[in-house]
Amino acid sequence: MGFFSGPSKDELLKTAMGIASYAMQLRMLGQIDPAARRDTLIEVAAVGGPTSIDALTTMAARVVEDNDLGWYKKNQFIGMVYGSLISVGLPAADARSIKQQIELLCSLSKPKARREPAISARGTDGNEEPASDEAIDAIMGRMMSRSENWTTIGEAIANDCLENGLREGGVVRYSEIAEYIASRHKYNTSVVQLGFTNRMHQFVQSGEIITAKAENGDLIFVHEKYADDILKDA
Q: What is the pLDDT of residue 137?
A: 55
State residue 79's pLDDT score: 93
Clarify whether residues 111 and 188 are in a common domain: no
CATH number, residue 192: 1.10.10
pTM above 0.85, yes or no: no
Report whether 220 contacts 173 (CB < 8 A): yes
For residue 141, being part of any structural domain is answered with no
Based on the fold, state whether residues 115 and 17 are members of the same structural domain. Answer: yes
**Same domain, yes or no: 151 and 188:** yes
Mean pLDDT for the chain overall: 78
- pLDDT for position 102: 93
- Report how many domains make up the chain: 2
For residue 122, the model assigns a pLDDT of 40
Share of the chain above pLDDT 70, in %: 76
* Confidence bin at 125 (pLDDT 50/70/90): very low
164, 201: one domain: yes
Give me the sign of the Cα torsion angle 225, 227, 228, 230. Answer: positive
Q: Do residue 54 and residue 122 come from a single domain?
A: yes
pLDDT of the residue at 38: 79
Confirm whether 4 is domain-assigned.
Answer: no
**Looking at the domain assignment, is residue 183 inside a domain?**
yes
3 is a domain residue: no
In this prediction, residue 126 carries a pLDDT of 42
Host domain of residue 160: 146-231
Residues 178 and 215 in one domain: yes
pLDDT tens digits, 32-53:
677 777 777 777 677 667 788 8
Judged by average pLDDT, the poorest of 11-15, 66-70, 120-124 is 120-124
Q: Which of 131, 166, 186 marks a domain boundary?
A: 131
Q: Give exposure, 94-127, as e/b (b: 16+ Cβ within 10 Å).
A: ebeebbebbbebbeeeebeeebeebbbbeeeeee
Quick one: 117 and 174 in the same domain? no
Query: pLDDT-derived band of residue 111, with 50, 70 and 90 as boundaries?
Result: very low
pLDDT per residue as tens digits for the range 171-188: 999 999 988 888 887 766
Per-residue pLDDT, 81: 92
Helix (H, G, I), strand (E, B) or coil at 170: coil
Assign 26 a pLDDT band (cuts: 50, 70, 90).
Answer: confident
Residues 51 and 41 sit within 8 Å (Cβ to Cβ): yes
Query: Residues 121, 151: one domain?
Result: no
pLDDT of residue 145: 55
Q: What angle do CA 167, 169, 174 make, to 5 degrees?
A: 85
pLDDT in tens, 50-109: 788 888 898 888 888 888 888 888 999 999 999 988 887 888 999 999 999 999 998 874
Query: What is the C-alpha to C-alpha distance for residues 141 and 137, in angstroms, rounded to an integer?
Result: 6
